[in-house]
C-alpha cells in the first residue's frame, strides 16, 4: 500500500464556473462494510442536480470511489434528461425520489423508465401504493425520530436504507425493522458494556501508541505486538496482501517492519488499532472513518503547502481523533499518556490551531463554505481531498 499522497486525484483547471460544495457520507451494510456513498449537496433543489453532475464529472471520480455505489437524492425526477443520464452509470447509481412526488402520474412513468434502464430507485419515506406504480422496490427513510410502519416494507425487496441512524440502539431497531443499508453517526455512539471494556487491552494499545509517538525502535514494537494476537494478525495480513506483493510469505514481525518501513509501519499500526471485529463478527465501523479523516487531513495540509512532517502530523490528528470513541476514554486521558506535539494535542482536545480548524471541517459531512474560504480552501480542492481520502479508506478497508 502506498502513501495516501501517492494516490492523489488530479485537480481540474478547466471548470468554467465555481465548483459546487459537495459532501460524501458512507452507507454500510449490516456487517459495517461500506457499500455506497451518499452524495450531500447543500444547494437549492433546482441547482442540486447540476452540482451533482459537476462532482461526478470530476477527473477519475468513478475510479476513485470504486467499487461503491452512489446514493443520489433526486427532488424532481422529471428534471432528468438523456444528457444527464449519460453521466449517471446505472450499475453504480441509486436514485432516491420523494414520497410526495410518487403520486404524480408523470413521475410514476419516469421512475418506471429509470428502472427499465437499470437504475435502482428508492422512495424517500412512505409512499404506499404509489411506490408500486413507480416500480420502486426499496425505501430510504429518515430514522432520526421514528421508524416506518410495520407494513411499509412488506413489498420492498431493497436495498432499504435507514438514514440518520444516530446510535447503536437505533441501529439495532433499524435492522430489526428490515433495513439492510445504514447511514448516520451511529459509529460514533457505539453500545457500551458498562464495565469499561478490556482494561488490559486498552493499556496495551496506549503503550503501543506511546511507542509510535516517540518513534521507538523496531525491537520494542515487536515485543509489544507479540502480546496482541489480533493486532499481529492484521499486520501480517497487510504485508502479505496484494498491496505489497511480497516475493515470499512474511511470517515474522521483523520482516513486516522491514517491508513496510518506519513511516508506513506507523500509519498502518495507527489504523490497525481500529481493525478489531465486534463480537458478532462485523467489522469495526470506526476503521474507515479514521482512514478518511487521516487521509483528508494529510491531503488538505499538502494542498496548503505543508511539508512532509506537517502532513504526517495532520495524518496523526485525523487517525487519533476517534480514539476516545474506540477506547471509551476521555481524550484528555489519552493525550496525557502519549508524547504528542503541542499542535496535535490542541487539535484533539479543543479543535484549536490550524490542525484543529481542519479537523473540525473534516468531521462534518458538509463543510462550511465560509470556513473553507477562511482557511484558504475552495470547493474544488475540498472535493479533491474527499475523493483522495475516500479512495484510500476504501483500499484500507479491503486490505484489512
d(CA 247, CA 36): 34
Output the pLDDT for position 222: 80
Do 122 and 76 share a structural domain?
Answer: yes
Output the pLDDT for position 278: 61
Output the pLDDT for position 160: 95
Do 117 and 265 share a structural domain?
Answer: no
Do 79 and 201 share a structural domain?
Answer: no
| Domain C-terminal end among 188, 214, 244 | 188
39 close to 55: Cβ distance less than 8 angstroms? yes
CATH number, domain with residue 174: 3.20.20.450
| Domain C-terminal end among 188, 213, 229 | 188
**Structural domain count of the chain:** 2
> The domain containing residue 174 runs over which residues?
4-188
| Domain C-terminal end among 188, 205, 229 | 188
Do 397 and 357 share a structural domain?
Answer: yes
Pairing of β 23-28 and β 161-163: unpaired
Do 103 and 251 share a structural domain?
Answer: no
Do 103 and 9 share a structural domain?
Answer: yes
Output the pLDDT for position 4: 54
Do 170 and 210 share a structural domain?
Answer: no
C-alpha cell, 232: 499481529
Output the pLDDT for position 5: 43
Do 228 and 173 share a structural domain?
Answer: no
Do 149 and 229 share a structural domain?
Answer: no
What DSSP string runs through 281-334?
SPPPTHHHHHHHHHHHHHHHHHHTT--HHHHHHHHHHHHHTTHHHHHTS-HHHH
Output the pLDDT for position 272: 83
Do 204 and 131 share a structural domain?
Answer: no
Alpha helices, H only, the chain: 45-56, 61-65, 82-86, 105-116, 129-133, 168-177, 199-213, 218-225, 229-239, 253-260, 262-272, 286-303, 308-320, 323-327, 331-336, 342-350, 353-362, 369-374, 379-399
Do 358 and 258 share a structural domain?
Answer: yes
Task: Give the global pTM.
Answer: 0.88
Positions in the chain whose pLDDT score sits under 70:
1-17, 43, 45-46, 193-202, 242-243, 276-281
Output the pLDDT for position 279: 60
Amino acid at each position: 500500500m502506498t502513501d495516501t499522497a501517492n494516490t492523489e486525484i488530479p485537480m481540474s483547471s478547466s471548470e468554467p464556473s465555481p465548483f459546487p460544495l459537495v459532501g460524501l457520507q458512507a452507507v454500510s451494510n449490516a456487517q459495517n462494510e461500506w457499500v455506497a456513498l451518499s452524495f450531500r449537496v447543500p444547494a437549492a433543489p433546482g441547482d442540486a442536480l447540476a452540482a451533482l453532475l459537476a462532482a461526478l464529472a470530476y477527473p477519475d471520480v468513478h475510479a476513485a470511489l470504486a467499487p461503491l455505489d452512489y446514493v443520489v437524492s433526486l427532488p424532481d425526477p422529471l428534471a432528468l434528461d438523456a444528457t444527464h443520464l449519460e453521466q449517471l452509470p446505472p450499475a453504480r447509481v441509486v436514485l432516491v425520489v420523494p414520497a410526495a412526488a410518487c403520486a404524480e402520474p408523470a413521475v410514476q412513468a419516469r421512475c418506471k423508465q429509470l428502472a427499465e434502464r437499470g437504475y435502482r430507485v428508492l422512495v424517500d419515506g412512505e409512499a404506499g401504493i404509489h411506490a408500486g406504480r413507480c416500480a420502486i422496490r426499496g425505501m430510504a427513510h429518515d430514522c432520526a425520530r421514528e421508524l416506518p410502519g410495520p407494513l411499509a416494507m412488506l413489498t420492498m425487496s431493497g436495498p432499504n436504507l435507514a438514514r440518520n441512524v444516530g446510535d447503536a440502539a437505533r441501529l439495532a431497531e433499524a435492522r430489526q425493522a428490515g433495513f439492510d443499508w445504514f447511514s448516520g453517526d451511529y459509529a460514533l455512539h457505539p453500545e457500551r458494556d458498562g464495565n469499561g471494556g478490556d482494561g488490559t487491552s486498552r493499556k496495551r494499545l496506549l503503550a503501543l501508541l506511546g511507542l509510535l509517538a516517540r518513534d521507538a525502535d523496531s525491537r520494542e514494537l515487536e515485543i509489544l505486538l507479540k502480546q496482541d494476537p489480533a493486532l499481529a494478525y492484521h499486520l501480517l495480513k497487510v504485508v502479505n496482501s496484494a498491496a505489497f506483493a511480497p516475493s515470499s510469505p512474511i511470517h515474522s514481525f521483523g520482516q513486516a517492519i522491514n517491508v513496510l518501513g518506519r513511516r508506513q509501519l506507523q500509519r498502518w499500526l495507527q489504523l490497525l488499532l481500529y481493525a478489531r471485529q465486534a463480537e458478532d463478527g462485523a467489522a469495526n465501523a470506526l476503521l474507515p472513518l479514521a482512514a478518511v479523516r487521516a487521509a483528508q487531513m494529510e491531503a488538505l495540509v499538502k494542498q496548503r503547502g505543508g511539508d512532509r512532517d506537517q502532513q504526517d502530523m495532520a495524518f496523526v490528528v485525523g487517525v487519533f481523533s476517534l480514539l476516545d470513541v474506540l477506547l471509551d476514554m476521555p481524550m484528555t486521558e489519552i493525550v496525557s499518556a502519549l508524547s504528542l506535539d503541542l499542535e496535535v494535542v490542541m487539535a484533539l482536545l479543543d479543535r484549536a490551531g490550524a490542525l484543529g480548524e481542519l479537523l473540525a471541517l473534516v468531521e462534518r459531512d458538509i463543510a462550511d463554505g465560509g470556513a473553507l474560504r477562511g482557511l484558504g480552501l475552495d470547493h474544488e480542492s475540498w472535493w479533491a481531498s474527499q475523493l483522495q481520502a475516500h479512495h484510500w479508506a476504501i483500499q484500507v478497508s479491503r486490505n484489512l
